[in-house]
Structure 1
Amino acid sequence: MTDMLTTSTPTRPQMTKEQADLYRPEMVLKHDVAEKERAKWDPIAPALTDSPRALVPDYRVDPGDMTSLDCFASIQQAISKAVSDAKIHRRTRRLYIEIAPGTYDELVYVPALEVNGQKVPITLYGRESDASLTKISVNIDQGLTANAYSELFGPAFLNTEHTIRDMFKEVASRGTFDIGTTNSCVLRIRNDGFEAVNLTIENRYNEDRLTPDIANRADVSRNDKGQYSHGQHQAVALLVDGADRVMFENVRLLGDQDTLYFKTNEPKVTVKSYYKDCYIEGDVDFIFGNSTAFFDHCEICSKGARTSDTYVAAPSTNIHIPYGIVFWNCDFTHDGSEAAQRGTFYLGRQWFERVRATPYGTSPVPDYSCTLGELSHYEEPTGTIALKTLEAVGKVAVLHSRIGSHINPAAPWTDWNGGSFEKDGSYHPAPWAPRFRPVQFGIADFNRYLADWLKQQDLDYPEQDAPLPFIAEYGNRQTAL
């Protein structure tokens, strides 16, 4: 194996040391409210000690040992009891739930929990330190209808605490409509301060079938689970659903498209999640979202069995939020597939979230126009773009990491719904599409591409308002894996 230090090019910009220092974990993860609130969350300190974490269960999950009142057959039952007890007995400390080794075929929803005005965090942890021994695994995707979702998963939520049951009802109420990407998750977290340790979270959608025939788009048949018989659909393993100060340590996240999703419900107010010593795999946009996520000493594995192009990160970070996705001292690996060995995979593309009509590029559509509007909408030849969509520029930083030969060495970042790059950096533009946006490495690119359009919409984005790059690297090594 040989290593080569990454150098700066127009398609692969590198940060200065001064900029890189601003991406240290303690800089990215500090909380943005009162000092007393910041002091409550320090996910880095436990990781710096050599001693194992002291995990003492309040509740246990072990289907093979139901001899005590604090032991449950399912994870969701244990969470439900923990939430109910906290409210009844006014418990405000962290609650610990230990999970015995095994595979749990169940959706797991962790609700927001507040007692006496204080947010109560929950920790789920596998009893064994080998995360592969304790697995939450479900086959679910965004194309599942809400009615089918209710039939498959409804019984498990019948007797749960009402905030958990309400989370289920939000999805079930969609009726004959598909549940969508957000609701295709196996583990859903709304609990501020939540922790997961020593666990595997798997969305096994499409892992039980051969590569689907995506060419036959007229085929709208569904299997016995209510899922479409073709298509590489979004299928989320873990969703951090607006929860803040969330930590995952020694956790394996398994899936294909959209494995890990983290989001904030207020675009200009971020929430933060921290991933330590984790393994995350997937193929298309498999680490994505609009909030701040820090990956510390993680392995990020790109899979090429289903597709010829893969994208690790798909951020939609708001232009006013300084940090999006940060990879720190990570290993970017691959599955050894033929597609991976071609060396044309991507580190990412900036998710143009909810776009319908674009102000970027030159449209071949006669009389095409796109203006600022309340909603993003397109009805040829005119469209509107919402401010929230326009400002979802997407930010990624990769520092002190080792990047395998599966990643395009000349151009690891690509356009949204645009063209493609060869290994030598040559670019093949795709036909213009109404959702097109070119890769943007910083606010200077944003202003350059949209200069005249921004003036027409009476918008102004001074460069000092976003001094950090949108996309950049520092101190990485390209490895011949």
Structure 2
Amino acid sequence: MSTSNQSTPTRPQMTKEQAALYRPDIVLSHDTASEEGEPWDPIAPALASLPRKAKPDYRVDPTDLSSANCFASIQRAINKAVVDAKTKKITDRLVIEIAPGTYNELVYVPSLEVDGKKVPLTLIGRETDATKTVISVNIDQGLTADAYTMRFSSAFLELDDSIRSMFEAVSARGDFDIGTTNSCVMRVCNDGFEAVNLTIENSYNEDRLTPDVADLPADERPLNEKGQLAYGQHQAVAVLIDAADRVYFENVRLLGDQDTIYFKTNEPRETVKSYYKDCHIEGDVDFIFGNSTAYFDHCRICSKGARTPNTYVAAPSTNIHIPYGIVFWDCDFIHDDSEAALAGRFHLGRQWFERVRATPYGSSPVPGYNCKLGDLSHYEEPVGTIALKTLEAVGKVAVLHSRIGDHINPAAPWTDWNGGEFDRDGNYLPAPWAPRFRPVQYDLDDFTRYLEDWLAKEGLDYSTLDKTLPFIGEYGNSDNGEN
């Protein structure tokens, strides 16, 4: 095992002083859009040995429905908690205990406020072994809203409007695809939400029957070499943190392929925070992604190579004004022993150029190409516009005190967005220019250097922003960690 303690152009190392600013109590105390009272420190209660609420308020157990507060469905238990909080004026945390088993249902956790106070919910598996309590659904972004409605509408009948409206917003898309955001198994809009001792899985794996093949005999359906339906690698989210703040996951397994966990804020220049302790997250493409602040503490990050020769762990789209994006602290970056993983060309991440349609980066071969700042991101060859929030979605990741397996390209773990690739020796293999291209940017200096003339022409100035923290940086990591 070797250590990565020497800074290179593709593996910038932070200073000790910079690294100290990534401690969880500092990162998670950063002001947010929904800050209440004291800064959030989710670690302090555990360090003080403060016990969790001993007796749950509600139980989910399909084998025992003897009490009024026991349910066969997780969503029905959540609904009861929401209704009780509103009608009985409950403002304390409400805890839902889930019996071991597999629950094939969508789980929507709404925002909940009573008398001006936000009421947090907790879902906790009764067994401490997270593999015993599984929430699993096969759903992907290519599913039409009409098909989504047919599959899931019965589960949302007669629920509180705060939950029902979440379902109806997706259903209303009709014959359009539901999209990445709505392809989630669990959707969390609840500030202060907790999940403990659970597995949450999006089981989609290129295996959804589309109308054109549904009527074909099984042996005539087109399959790829892996035995999966030969159609695109769709986004399929296990958990969406939907602008919810102070979200806490402990001993949770998040399973999927592309886009396993998505955390987002509705206001690009304001962040919300989520914290993951002793969790296992796995996927292949951009499987930890979003524009809000997410902290992974002592987690296992597993890159899967069964479907694709190249994988990307993180795809942050953090706004340039937000100091912290995705932080990995004392994590193990492991793999699935697939042939692709053993080739050692996987990546720690790429910066998601969120909603880009036309780029101000690079040199375009398109005659007359021009990209200007606009209200929306749009492109009609050869002229395009880029919205300010798209331009400022620079993406930030810090990896500290972690063990990085040999499936990650040691010379070039970070790569361009919609650009070329690096080989294992760190040699850049450029791809043809594309209208959504952006090179990897490690700090504010990179951003201004690439766009200096363009920013001046558009009247944009970022020279006063704090340069203390990088966009991408490492500290105290070791390479070739054990799988």
Q: Same fold (TM over 0.5)?
A: yes
Residue 238 (structure 1) aligns with: 239
Following superposition, the deviation at residue 159 of structure 1 comes to: 1.6
Task: Report 1:54-453 matches (<5 A).
Answer: 54-206=53-205, 221=212, 223=214, 230-453=231-454
Please report how far the alpha carbon of residue 16 of structure 1 lies from its aligned counterpart in structure 2 after TM superposition. 0.4
Does residue 457 (structure 1) correspond to residue 448 (structure 2)? The answer is no
Change (3 A) 1:472 1:360: same
For structure 2, the residue ranges without an aligned partner over 5 or more in a row are: 216-227
Task: Give me the whole-angstrom Cα distance separating, in 2, the residues matched to 1:400 and 1:480.
Answer: 12
CA distance in structure 2 between the partners assigned to 1:381 and 1:445 by the alignment = 26
- In the alignment, is the contact (CA less than 8 A) between 2:206 and 2:231 conserved in 1? no
Map of 1:215 onto structure 2 = none
For the residue of structure 1 that corresponds to 2:212, the secondary structure is: coil
Query: Partners in 2 of 1:129 and 1:265 — Cα distance?
Result: 34
What are the ranges of 5 or more consecutive residues in structure 1 without an aligned counterpart? 213-218
Distance 1:207 1:355, change over 3 A: closer
- Kindly provide the amino acid, as one letter, of the partner of residue 273 in structure 2: K
Runs of 4+ in 1 over 4 A off after TM superposition: 33-36, 49-52
Describe the superposition over 1:295-337 as per-residue Cα deviations: whole angstroms up to 9, x where unpaired. Answer: 0000000000000000000000000000000000000000000
Go from structure 1 to structure 2 and tell me whether the alpha carbon gap of 1:465 and 1:3 turns closer, same or farther (over 3 Å shift): closer
Q: Deviations over 1:93-132 (max 9, x none)?
A: 0000000000000000000000000000000000000001
Give the distance between the partners of 1:260 and 1:29, measured in 2 at CA. Answer: 19
Is the deviation greater in 378-387 or in 6-15?
A: 6-15
- The CA deviation at 1:7 is 2.0
Q: Given that residues 99 and 125 in structure 1 are in contact (C-alpha distance below 8 angstroms), is that contact kept between their aligned partners in structure 2?
A: yes
Deviation at 1:161, TM superposition (A): 1.0
Amino acid at match of 1:371: K
Per-residue deviation at 1:52?
6.1
Counterpart code for 1:295: F
Deviation at 1:41, TM superposition (A): 3.5
2:201–2:256 contact (8 Å) kept in structure 1: yes
The code of the aligned residue for 1:292 comes to T
**Residue 446 of structure 1 aligns to which amino acid in structure 2?**
F
Query: What residue identity is the alignment partner of 1:82?
Result: A
Is the 8 Å Cα contact of residues 207 and 229 (structure 2) preserved in structure 1? no
Q: Assess if the C-alpha contact under 8 Å between 1:6 and 1:478 holds in 2.
A: no
The DSSP-based 3-state class of the residue aligned with 2:182 is helix
CA distance in 2, matches of 1:465, 1:158: 50
Please report how far the alpha carbon of residue 228 of structure 1 lies from its aligned counterpart in structure 2 after TM superposition: 8.2
What is the identity, as a one-letter code, of the residue corresponding to 1:96? V
Secondary structure in 2 aligned to 1:434? coil
Inter-CA distance 223–286: structure 2 relative to 1 (3 Å threshold): farther
**8 Å CA contact 2:122, 2:193 repeated in 1:** yes
Report the CA distance shift for 1:220/1:450 in structure 2 as closer, same or farther (over 3 A): farther
Alpha-carbon distance in structure 1 between the residues aligned to 2:345 and 2:476: 21
Q: Which residue of 1 aligns with 2:219?
A: none
Asked if the contact 2:206/2:234 (under 8 Å) is kept, the reply is no
SS in 1 for 2:36: helix
> CA offsets, 1:156-178, max 9 Å, x none?
00121111000000000000000
Would you say 1:16 and 2:15 are equivalent positions?
yes
% identical equivalent positions: 73
Give the aligned residue type for 2:6: T
Aligned counterparts of 2:299 and 2:35: Cα–Cα separation in 1: 30
Distance in 1 between the 2:301 and 2:427 partners? 26
Amino acid at match of 2:16: K
The 3-state SS of whatever aligns with 2:435 is: coil
Q: Distance in 1 between matches of 2:194 and 2:39?
A: 14
Q: Aligned equivalents of 2:336 and 2:33: distance in 1? A: 44
**CA deviation after TM superposition for structure 1 residue 463, in Å:** 5.3
Q: Is the 8 A contact 2:297 2:331 kept in 1?
A: yes
1:472 is the counterpart of 2:461: no
Tell whether the 8 Å contact from 2:420 to 2:429 is kept in structure 1 after alignment: yes
| CA RMSD across the alignment | 1.9
Q: CA deviation at 1:466?
A: 4.2
SS at 1:183 equivalent:
coil
CA distance in 1 between partners of 2:433 and 2:386 (Å): 17
What is the Cα deviation at residue 229 of structure 1?
5.8
Q: Secondary structure at the match of 1:294?
A: strand
Could you tell me which amino acid in structure 1 is paired with residue 169 of structure 2? E
Verify the 8 A CA contact 2:373 2:385 in the aligned structure 1. yes
Paired letter, 2:387: A
2:32–2:272 Cα contact (<8 Å) kept: no
**Residues 93, 53 of structure 1: alpha-carbon distance in 2 compared, 3 angstrom cutoff:** closer
Within 1, Cα distance between the matches of 2:71 and 2:330? Answer: 38
Give per-residue Cα distances to partners, 1:35-55, cap 9 Å, x unaligned.
992427431123335676444
- What is the CA–CA distance in structure 1 between the aligned matches of 2:35 and 2:182, rounded to whole Å? 34
Asked whether the equivalents of residues 31 and 37 of structure 1 are also in contact (C-alpha less than 8 Å), the reply is no
- The 1:464/1:373 distance shift into structure 2, 3 A limit, reads closer
Deviation, 1:464, is: 3.8
Q: Secondary structure at the match of 1:301?
A: strand
Q: Quick one: distance in 1 between partners of 2:316 and 2:417? A: 11
SS in 2 for 1:184: coil
* 2:240/2:261 contact within 8 Å kept: yes
Q: Counterpart amino acid of 1:469?
A: P
